[in-house]
Amino acid sequence: MQKEVIVDYNTELNKELKLLLKKSYQELSKIEKKSIKLAFETARNAHGNQVRKSGEPYIFHPLKVARIVSEEIGLGATSIIAALLHDVVEDTNITIDDVEILFGKEVSKIVDGLTKISKLSKDKRVSIQAENFKKMLLSINDDVRVILIKIADRLHNMMTLDFLSVEKQVRISSETLFIYAPLAHRIGMYNIKTKLEDLSLKFTEPDVYHGIEKKIKESEKERLKYIKNFSKKLEGHLKTQKILFRTEGRFKSIFSIRKKMQLKNKRYDEVFDQFAVRIIYKSNQKNEKFLAWKIYSIVTDHFQPNPTRLRDWISSPKSTGYEALHITIVGPGGKWIEVQIRSERMHEIAEKGYAAHFKYKSNSKNITEDGMDKWLDKLRNIVKANESDAIDFVNDFKLNLYSSEIFVFTPMGDLKSLPTNATPVDFAFSIHSEIGEKTRGSRVNGKIVPLNFKLNSGDQVEIITSETAKPNASWLDFVVTSKARSEIRTSLRVEERKIAEEGKELLRRKLKQMKFNFSEKIINALVSYFNLKTSLDLFYRVGFGTIDNKMLKSFAAEEKNRFFQLFKRRPSDKPKKNELHDENISSFYDLLVFGKNYEKFEYKLSPCCKPIPGDGVFGFVSINDGIKVHKNDCPNAISLHSNYGYRIINAKWIDSSKGFFTGILKLSGIDRIGLISEVTNIISKSHNVDISQLNFDTENGTFSGEIKLNVKKASKLVTLIKKLEKINGIDKVVRD
């Protein structure tokens, strides 16, 4: 019986190997096929009797990964060999030197990169380890194929996830949705991205997944018939123009349907454009654009288009290299249908991404794997330029991966691609770091706009700079590109160190006046007394003025009193070492605030992920327990966001003695000339408070106004209210 099972496995393995060699996207030479067979036998012998959770021999995994690399990503022999060997160094007795001797330096370098990633992923305490992920992405600087094979590895692991525990299924699926699916999208591997999303949803929200899957199957025959009939009508109109083409009917993925249901708060049967048809036409590159718009014209002549749903990625391709025209039309029976218009070249790039891009770039059937291009350079630069800590890195990177694109113009008419919701500050840093750092203001389409203004496609953006300008901490609340965030943080750290140095010298003088020596012992006591984390935090606050003379004198009085009490003890009561300074130094993130206005609410820390001060977190408004706080990488995060997006509230740990608060003051009274000027002078000049927004309305001699302010302390608002109430004409000032 055992012998029969082995024979069956051998038959299946040989079948898989033949398919690998036969269905390769790239044309393989006899020598390359021989090397691939050798790699297969090497991996097979090395893995020996190892089996997966499914019970099948382990060798099936690298073989399936190699097929994904070959057929779906479209890479060549070097990558196929590396995929077959990607686990041998980690899991068997074969060394990286053995791989280099047998298959050369290029293959061994890729396998080594994959082995390092595998070792970094062993710690499974959280959904994704920030430091490990950062190191993994850094490998793109060595060879992008490491990342591509890793994505293929993740896809096959997701396809065999049924055999793992529910806990592991959810964790791995959350990790996949968090990074691997959007990463595949960013690199242009849309088919793989869709598969990763659907498989992840299957395990993170099984009820939702199977519910949508069931409804799709129930309507499958009717749907296929509808698409077939529509395609025939479409083909009839296109053939009259002698356009060589083919059509493909398809249905939206389960994940994309779920996403639209959640975003639009609609039922399954209310989701927009579930049907989709691709028109793939033959053309040389010179006539591609002309033919695309000709097909568009024919389609819209016979079917009513939705003008708000036109997507032109031919004139302005996505940064991933994707090109196509997307239109949504009203089909027979009043049903919405998305029509995608692509040339064969565009279609191949959309399906294969990286490999097809270079096939057409080199105009050769044989694709070399040595080239890189601008859109891959962008991905590499995001990794290379980011000097933030691991947590910030992951959040910034994820933010950029998930972003759609807008296209804006420089004053000279150059086109720049930015993520959706990008601001003039993001634009400034995308031009050059120095322009970003010296940004003072901006004009969009000739009009002055605030720095947090959200840009739209087609905007012309001009940056106003000043030699005295410098980045502001509040910019981090609205910039969306990782480059801008990284540069702002770097600049703030430099400024903070400068203030800290000044504070250190100031504190030295203050302590001397109070008869204290400037020593490590007294600095530790001060850090503990003010509930800070490091001496740098202490020096910064002294330099900035949030720790003033009065506060230092209070510390001095308490410290001297404690010393006096210890001095009065009997010899047997001699204090133990560090008795004066053994308090637990609390984290410098000591306050949790919610929403855009940094409001304070009652909350509970969720036991499922156990967040601590400083973690990236969000609030979830539960039915019985009020606001429950979860970490951003909590295993339940994706499920909560997907199912209950309307109950999610932004949350942020801040330093209450250092952070900015947004305060809102409402004013009313009798209108007079110069009133607004007097109000702004008191706020900005007399008290040096930043006004982020100001609105005043007048009617029949009276006025009402609202002012948004960025303040260091809530107590500052109390002072301002008292001052503003004294202005002639102001009847009432209240804090909203």
DSSP bridge partners of 618: 630, 650
Answer for the pair 261, 313: CB distance below 8 angstroms, yes or no.
no
Answer for the pair 153, 86: CB distance below 8 angstroms, yes or no.
yes
| Three-state DSSP state, 641 | helix
Q: What percent of the chain has pLDDT over 70?
A: 79
Helix (H) or strand (E) holding 439, with range, is strand 439-444
pLDDT tens digit sequence for 254-311: 888 888 777 766 677 666 556 788 999 999 888 899 999 999 999 998 888 888 788 8
How many beta carbons lie within 10 A of that of residue 674, not counting itself?
10
Q: What percent of the chain has pLDDT over 90?
A: 14
Low-confidence winner among 91-105, 119-133, 386-400, 590-604 (lowest mean pLDDT): 119-133
Q: How far is CA 733 from CA 175, 691, 709, 722, in A?
A: 49, 16, 14, 8
pLDDT of residue 4: 45
Per-residue confidence band for 578, with pLDDT thresholds at 50, 70 and 90: very low
| 573 and 605, same domain (yes or no) | no
Answer for the pair 77, 116: CB distance below 8 angstroms, yes or no.
no
Q: What is the rounded (10 degree) CA torsion for 535, 537, 538, 539?
A: 90
- Cα angle, residue 337 at apex, residues 333 and 342 outer, rounded to 5°: 145
| 23 and 147, same domain (yes or no) | yes
- Cα angle, residue 252 at apex, residues 247 and 257 outer, rounded to 5°: 165
Q: Which of 641-645's residues contact partners 24+ apart within 8 Å by CB, and which partners?
A: 642/204, 642/205, 642/208, 642/258, 642/262, 643/205, 643/208, 643/262, 644/620, 645/262, 645/263
Domain end among 581, 600, 621: 581
CATH number for the domain that contains residue 317:
3.30.460.10
| 143 and 15, same domain (yes or no) | yes
> Average pLDDT in the 193-203 region?
92
Answer for the pair 203, 170: CB distance below 8 angstroms, yes or no.
yes
pLDDT tens digit sequence for 687-704: 777 777 788 887 767 888
Residue 194 lies in a domain: no
pLDDT of residue 197: 92
From the list 92, 191, 187, 86, the residue with the least C-alpha distance to 146 is 86
Residue 378 lies in a domain: no
Per-residue confidence band for 37, with pLDDT thresholds at 50, 70 and 90: very high
| 636 and 725, same domain (yes or no) | no
Angstrom distance (rounded) from CA 198 to CA 304: 31
Answer for the pair 609, 629: CB distance below 8 angstroms, yes or no.
no
Annotated catalytic residue 91? yes
pLDDT tens digit sequence for 644-674: 766 788 888 876 555 566 678 888 888 888 8
- pLDDT exceeds 90 at position 411: no
Structure tokens at 518: 């400037």
| 60 and 177, same domain (yes or no) | yes
Structure tokens at 391: 């947590």
How many beta carbons lie within 10 A of that of residue 548, not counting itself?
11
- pLDDT exceeds 50 at position 47: yes
| Three-state DSSP state, 224 | helix
| 568 and 603, same domain (yes or no) | no
pLDDT of residue 326: 92
Low-confidence winner among 132-141, 269-278, 513-522, 719-728 (lowest mean pLDDT): 132-141
- pLDDT exceeds 80 at position 579: no
Q: Which residue has the higher pLDDT, 637 or 155?
A: 155
- pLDDT exceeds 50 at position 251: yes
- pTM, 2 dp: 0.59
Angstrom distance (rounded) from CA 102 to CA 42: 9
Answer for the pair 661, 713: CB distance below 8 angstroms, yes or no.
yes
> Average pLDDT in the 627-645 region?
78
Helix (H) or strand (E) holding 667, with range, is strand 661-670
Name the one residue in this structure whose structure tokens are 């991933």: 320
| Three-state DSSP state, 659 | coil
| 572 and 622, same domain (yes or no) | no
Most confident residue range from 48-52, 513-517, 631-635: 48-52
From the list 282, 283, 206, the residue with the least C-alpha distance to 245 is 282
The length of the chain in residues reads 736
From the candidates 16, 71, 91, 248, give the one annotated as an active-site residue: 91
Angstrom distance (rounded) from CA 627 to CA 647: 9
Sign of CA dihedral 484, 487, 493, 499: negative
Residue 135 lies in a domain: yes
Domain end among 334, 352, 370: 352
| 127 and 10, same domain (yes or no) | yes
Q: Which residue has the higher pLDDT, 571 or 23?
A: 23
Structure tokens at 633: 């990488």
pLDDT of residue 5: 45
| Three-state DSSP state, 428 | helix
8-state DSSP, 657:
T
Helix (H) or strand (E) holding 281, with range, is strand 275-281
Residue 685 lies in a domain: yes
Residue 65 lies in a domain: yes
Low-confidence winner among 5-9, 303-307, 450-454, 624-628 (lowest mean pLDDT): 5-9
Name the one residue in this structure whose structure tokens are 């330029």: 385
> Average pLDDT in the 415-424 region?
84
Per-residue confidence band for 487, with pLDDT thresholds at 50, 70 and 90: confident
> Average pLDDT in the 353-359 region?
65
> Average pLDDT in the 486-515 region?
84
- pLDDT exceeds 70 at position 209: yes
Angstrom distance (rounded) from CA 318 to CA 613: 39
DSSP 535-577: HHHHHHHHHHTSS-HHHHHHHHHHHHHHHHHHHTS-GGGPPPT
pLDDT tens digit sequence for 703-714: 888 888 877 666
Q: What is the CA radius of gyration of the chain?
A: 31
Domain ranges, residue 49 = 2-189
- pLDDT exceeds 50 at position 366: no
CATH number for the domain that contains residue 162:
1.10.3210.10
Most confident residue range from 90-99, 231-240, 248-257, 468-477: 90-99
- pLDDT exceeds 90 at position 52: no
Where in 456-519 does DSSP place strands (E)? Answer: 461-465
Residue 380 lies in a domain: no
Dihedral pair phi/psi, residue 523, rounded to 5°? -65, -45
From the list 569, 521, 530, the residue with the least C-alpha distance to 550 is 530
Domain end among 581, 609, 625: 581
Most confident residue range from 95-104, 478-487, 625-634: 95-104
- Cα angle, residue 522 at apex, residues 518 and 524 outer, rounded to 5°: 125
Number of separate domains in the chain: 5
pLDDT of residue 342: 94
Angstrom distance (rounded) from CA 67 to CA 585: 54
| 256 and 284, same domain (yes or no) | yes
| 37 and 170, same domain (yes or no) | yes
Angstrom distance (rounded) from CA 161 to CA 178: 17
Per-residue confidence band for 41, with pLDDT thresholds at 50, 70 and 90: very high
Angstrom distance (rounded) from CA 572 to CA 696: 71
Question: What b/e string do you get for 195-231 counting C-beta neighbours within 10 Å, with b at 16 or more?
Answer: bbbbbbbbbbbeebbeebeeebeeeeeebeebbeebb
- pLDDT exceeds 60 at position 561: yes
How many beta carbons lie within 10 A of that of residue 77, not counting itself?
21
pLDDT of residue 81: 94
Residue 300 lies in a domain: yes
> Average pLDDT in the 45-73 region?
89
Residue 363 burial class via C-beta count within 10 angstroms: exposed 0-12, middle 13-18, buried 19 and up? exposed
DSSP bridge partners of 730: 669
Q: Which residue has the higher pLDDT, 439 or 474?
A: 439
Sorted by sequence, the CB contacts under 8 Å of residue 628 that are 6+ apart come out as 603, 604, 605, 606, 619, 620, 622
From the list 238, 198, 189, 225, the residue with the least C-alpha distance to 71 is 189
pLDDT of residue 311: 86
Q: How far is CA 356 from CA 33, 416, 472, in A?
A: 21, 24, 43
From the candidates 90, 106, 501, 502, give the one annotated as an active-site residue: 90
| 646 and 721, same domain (yes or no) | no
Q: How far is CA 43 from CA 31, 283, 311, in A?
A: 18, 43, 46
Average pLDDT of the chain, as a whole number:
78
Residue 705 lies in a domain: yes
| 79 and 228, same domain (yes or no) | no
CATH number for the domain that contains residue 670:
3.30.70.260
Per-residue confidence band for 154, with pLDDT thresholds at 50, 70 and 90: very high
- pLDDT exceeds 50 at position 15: yes
